[in-house]
Amino acid sequence: MVRREAGPIAGLVIGGLMLGGGYFLTYRVGKPIRDKAAASTSWPVTDGRITGSRVERVKQKKGGTTYTADITYEYALDGRTFEGDRVWFGDDYSASDASAFRAAVGRYPVGRAVKVHYDPAEPAESVLEPGTTWSGSALYFIGLGLMTLGGIVTLSAAGTLLLVTLALAATVGSLLGGRRESHDDFGPRLDDLARDFERPAPRPLGGRPDSERADDDGIEII
């Protein structure tokens, strides 16, 4: 029985971890990125210039090669010069297909004048292509999926654990009931013995009741 309960308990633990991890990815990581990406469409714009643009090749430790884009730009605000490297929100990833990164490098060659959208509260935060994108929303939706799966695992484990508990309670109740019935088959119950002591004693054969003996005057009639 202990081994059977280990499955639902492990499911509750795994489901709880998935719920916690999904919540973290969704609301602590993914949602702030999506919110900032959505807000960037209303950020003020200033002039800038591309200072670096190339496709980087990244060799993986387990073998294989992935690619990413390294694009930098400069812009000036109130006599201060800032440098940015975000083309769109969620562009900080690598992939085995370099076509998207080559296209980005082609759009932003070195020396090209660009419009830079910057956060008025934090001027160092900037982007060239404002708005939400699939790559910028990936962590948000992965977190939602993890939370959904974790909820399913948790509910399933909780239901299984409830069934196991009910089955255990039914088994214990059946064992206790069987033990009581077996006791009745092999001997009298205590309440039956108590009733036996309360019954009046049997009358002797051929005798008279005590009340008649008390009225006897000692005369014997033949």
Instruction: Write out 202-216 in H/E/C secondary structure.
Output: CCCCCCCCHHHHHCC
Please name the residue that has the structure tokens 């959505």. Answer: 38
94 and 158 both lie in a single domain? no
83 and 109 both lie in a single domain? yes
Instruction: Examine residue 36 and state whether it is found in any structural domain, yes or no.
Output: yes
Distance between CA atoms of residues 97 and 67, nearest Å: 7
Residue 204: band (very low, low, confident or very high) from pLDDT cuts 50, 70, 90? low
Instruction: Examine residue 184 and state whether it is found in any structural domain, yes or no.
Output: no
56 and 154 both lie in a single domain? no
Percentage of residues in the chain having pLDDT higher than 90: 49
Instruction: Examine residue 187 and state whether it is found in any structural domain, yes or no.
Output: no
Instruction: Please check the confidence at residue 3 and state whether its pLDDT lies above 70.
Output: no
Q: Which amino acid is at 203?
A: R
**Structural domain total, the chain:** 2
Instruction: Please check the confidence at residue 119 and state whether its pLDDT lies above 60.
Output: yes
Average pLDDT over residues 117-132: 96
Residue 163: band (very low, low, confident or very high) from pLDDT cuts 50, 70, 90? confident
Q: What is the pTM of this model?
A: 0.64
Average pLDDT over residues 147-164: 87
143 is in which domain, residue-wise? 1-42+130-170
Average pLDDT over residues 133-152: 91
More confident residue, 96 or 74: 74
Instruction: Please check the confidence at residue 209 and state whether its pLDDT lies above 70.
Output: no
38 and 139 both lie in a single domain? yes
Task: Kindly report the average pLDDT of the chain as a whole number.
Answer: 82
34 and 144 both lie in a single domain? yes
Distance between CA atoms of residues 16 and 145, nearest Å: 14
What the block records as the tokens of 152 is: 């399913």
48 and 111 both lie in a single domain? yes
Distance between CA atoms of residues 212 and 206, nearest Å: 13
